[in-house]
């Protein structure tokens, strides 16, 4: 039969207090006596000898009964001179601590306090510190990730800004001044397009011949008239297009560059683009389809450029949207066919604009290019189809030689020539210039749109700085928590062993195991 002394006493940590009170080791009301003892300890600790051993003993821990025993042992050495012939100490320090030990040992109150301290440290305080430590580590990981995201977003916005400036062909140092100075390049650019349009004469001639043969009538006057006008006469005034005769006098109002070009706003009267007579005969602000040179532009609004307050920021496409409302105070004059001479040879307002500066005539030119491109593309499809090839052979049997000798390669060259002129007319830079010339407020909108990219990049820099500060705070918190946790774990292990040994002495030195104590401490340290 197994000896009773060999059977260990297993006590669960959460049941330790109940176990002590149920076996009458300490009373149920032990806590009210602890209050008196704590007051005496707080008073006695104010008058302690300058001994490193005592300072190390009391550092970073809650003073309990076992600490008091160690303090008494130390005082026996430091206060030995106060011992009288009867073996009693006359030192008040020793008397105070001996009284504290005596009160602790009455009804084993110290065991109740030690059990409560074990439960508080293992079940509550250490897990809470562990969670703070893990949160600090998690904060560091999040800060590293956020800093990388902010740096990526900053780079993306600066690249977006550089790309936008490159598309508009400005440096981006003084945005407003550079945008307004681009207006000087508009006439030369449009004249270059006009000169390039002369290369399409063979494509238009083929188109006219095709219509003459298929319609069996002269199509010269109805076939892409604006393209014909530009090929024959170049980028003339709108007046010459309308009347068929060049004007004798051209009254042009040149836009005035604002004096305050550093400012991003043109709210002041002196900081406006002066469009003169253009305001009375402004270009159409009607919505255009994607086939229009100014079609499908998105309104550029400053509020839309502001990012939200989330960590992960979405920067979208680098393209600048085009759908803006153009200031108009009157509708565009109707494009009359050439020859409608009104008797006046003075070109003013819209009539003073060239046909490629005028939105309506520019749209007509662009539509002519699209019509020509669609015609050539269709001819390519017909030539590549065997069924259509047989049908075309029968239809064009009596056609002029110029219509029969064309090949797929020649049609593809025609198509590329037309697309090349259309692409020159619709570059990003020219789209901006069209809008700058037609809207006095578009410059401010474009400036705000570009500046918002740099402002967003600067905000990303500030966010990176804030995240770095937060990261350092988390590192410092981790550094302060780690030694604190290690100290409490070490002291708690000592207290756990002392309680087990004290209970063991009461039961003939049987082995006592406080379950859930040491294992919990090991889990916290790992």
- The verdict on residue 472 lying in a domain is no
* Rounded percentage of the chain residues whose pLDDT exceeds 90: 28
CA atoms within 13 A on the CB side of 247: 23
Q: Which of 72-86, 386-400, 434-448 has the lowest mean pLDDT?
A: 386-400
Are 178 and 237 within one domain?
Answer: yes
CA atoms within 13 A on the CB side of 371: 16
**Structure tokens belonging to residue 90:** 């006359």
The answer to whether residues 510 and 8 touch, using CB atoms and an 8 Å cutoff, is yes
The answer to whether residues 93 and 72 touch, using CB atoms and an 8 Å cutoff, is no
Are 405 and 315 within one domain?
Answer: yes
Q: How many residues in total does the chain contain? A: 526
- The verdict on residue 144 lying in a domain is no
The answer to whether residues 282 and 326 touch, using CB atoms and an 8 Å cutoff, is yes
Task: Output the pLDDT for position 209.
Answer: 86
Are 159 and 121 within one domain?
Answer: no
Are 25 and 162 within one domain?
Answer: no
111 vs 121: CA distance, rounded Å: 15
Task: Output the pLDDT for position 452.
Answer: 92
Q: Quick check: 471 pLDDT over 90?
A: yes
Are 67 and 215 within one domain?
Answer: no
Are 431 and 492 within one domain?
Answer: no
Are 67 and 164 within one domain?
Answer: no
Task: Output the pLDDT for position 388.
Answer: 52
Are 492 and 453 within one domain?
Answer: no
- The verdict on residue 473 lying in a domain is no
Task: Output the pLDDT for position 270.
Answer: 39
Are 88 and 156 within one domain?
Answer: no
- The verdict on residue 470 lying in a domain is no
Task: Measure the N-to-C terminal CA separation of the chain; round to a whole number of Å.
Answer: 41
Element (H, E) at 216: none
- The verdict on residue 106 lying in a domain is yes
Model pTM score: 0.59
211 closest CA partner among 197, 228, 195, 235 = 228
The answer to whether residues 260 and 284 touch, using CB atoms and an 8 Å cutoff, is no
Report, as an integer, the average pLDDT of 345-352. Answer: 84
Element (H, E) at 10: strand 9-12
- The verdict on residue 39 lying in a domain is yes
Are 251 and 395 within one domain?
Answer: yes
200 vs 190: CA distance, rounded Å: 16
Q: Quick check: 80 pLDDT over 80?
A: no
Residues 238-294 pLDDT 10s: 898 888 888 888 887 655 545 444 444 434 333 444 433 433 333 333 333 333 333
Which region, left, alpha or beta, applies to residue 485 given φ > 0 means left and ψ of -120 to 50 means alpha? alpha
Q: Quote the domain boundaries for residue 22.
A: 4-133+479-525
Residues 477-488 pLDDT 10s: 999 999 988 888
92-to-43, 99, 164, 224, 336 alpha-carbon distances in Å: 12, 10, 85, 117, 118
237 vs 234: CA distance, rounded Å: 9
What is the Cα gyration radius of the chain? 46
Are 36 and 115 within one domain?
Answer: yes
Report, as an integer, the average pLDDT of 208-236. Answer: 86
Q: Which of 144-158, 182-196, 225-239, 417-431 has the highest mean pLDDT?
A: 144-158
Domain count within the chain = 2
Report, as an integer, the average pLDDT of 416-425. Answer: 92
- The verdict on residue 248 lying in a domain is yes
State the average pLDDT for the chain: 78
Task: Output the pLDDT for position 393.
Answer: 56
- The verdict on residue 492 lying in a domain is yes
325 vs 227: CA distance, rounded Å: 28
Are 85 and 185 within one domain?
Answer: no
The answer to whether residues 191 and 177 touch, using CB atoms and an 8 Å cutoff, is no
């Amino acid at each position: 039969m197994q000896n009773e002394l060999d059977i260990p006493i297993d006590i669960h940590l959460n049941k330790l207090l109940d176990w002590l009170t149920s076996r009458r080791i300490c009373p149920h009301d032990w806590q009210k006596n602890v209050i008196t003892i704590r007051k005496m300890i707080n008073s006695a600790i104010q008058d302690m000898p300058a001994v490193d051993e005592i300072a190390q003993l009391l550092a970073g821990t809650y003073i309990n009964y076992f600490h008091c025993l160690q303090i008494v042992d130390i005082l026996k050495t430091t206060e030995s001179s106060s011992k009288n012939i009867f073996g009693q100490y006359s030192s008040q320090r020793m008397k105070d601590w001996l009284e504290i030990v005596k009160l602790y040992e009455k009804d084993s109150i110290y065991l109740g306090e030690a059990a409560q301290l074990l439960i508080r440290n293992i079940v509550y305080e250490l897990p809470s510190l562990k969670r703070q430590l893990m949160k600090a580590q998690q904060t560091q990981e999040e800060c590293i990730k956020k800093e990388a995201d902010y740096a990526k977003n900053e780079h993306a916005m600066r690249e977006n800004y550089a790309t936008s400036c490159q598309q508009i062909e400005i440096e981006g140092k003084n945005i407003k001044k550079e945008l307004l100075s681009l207006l000087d390049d508009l006439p030369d650019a449009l004249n270059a397009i006009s000169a390039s349009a002369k290369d399409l004469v063979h494509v238009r001639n083929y188109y006219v011949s095709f219509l003459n043969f298929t319609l069996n009538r002269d199509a010269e006057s109805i076939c892409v008239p604006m393209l014909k006008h530009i090929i024959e006469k170049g980028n003339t005034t709108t007046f010459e297009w309308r009347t068929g005769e060049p004007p004798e006098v051209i009254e042009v109002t040149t836009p005035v560059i604002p004096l305050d070009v550093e400012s991003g706003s043109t709210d002041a009267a002196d900081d406006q683009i002066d469009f003169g007579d253009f305001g009375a005969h402004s270009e159409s602000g009607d919505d255009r389809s994607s086939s229009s040179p100014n079609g499908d532009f998105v309104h550029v609004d400053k509020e839309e450029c502001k990012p939200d307050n989330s960590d992960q920021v979405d920067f979208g496409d680098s393209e600048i949207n085009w759908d803006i409302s153009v200031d108009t105070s009157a509708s565009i004059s109707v494009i009359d066919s050439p020859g409608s001479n009104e008797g006046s040879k003075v070109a003013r307002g819209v009539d003073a604009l060239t046909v490629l500066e005028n939105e309506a005539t520019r749209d007509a030119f662009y539509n002519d290019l699209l019509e020509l491109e669609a015609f050539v593309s269709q001819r390519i499809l017909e030539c590549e189809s065997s069924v259509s090839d047989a049908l075309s052979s029968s239809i064009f049997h009596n056609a002029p030689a110029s219509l029969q000798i064309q090949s797929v390669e020649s049609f593809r060259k025609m198509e590329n020539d037309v697309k090349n002129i259309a692409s020159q007319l619709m570059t990003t830079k020219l789209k901006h210039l069209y809008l700058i010339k037609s809207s006095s407020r578009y410059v401010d909108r474009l400036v705000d749109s570009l500046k918002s990219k740099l402002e967003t990049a600067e905000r990303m820099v500030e966010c990176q700085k804030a995240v770095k500060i937060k990261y350092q705070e988390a590192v410092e918190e981790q550094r302060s928590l780690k030694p604190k946790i290690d100290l409490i774990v070490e002291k708690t292990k000592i207290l756990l062993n002392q309680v087990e040994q004290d209970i063991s002495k009461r039961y003939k030195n049987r082995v006592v195991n406080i379950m859930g104590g040491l294992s919990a401490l090991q889990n916290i340290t790992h």
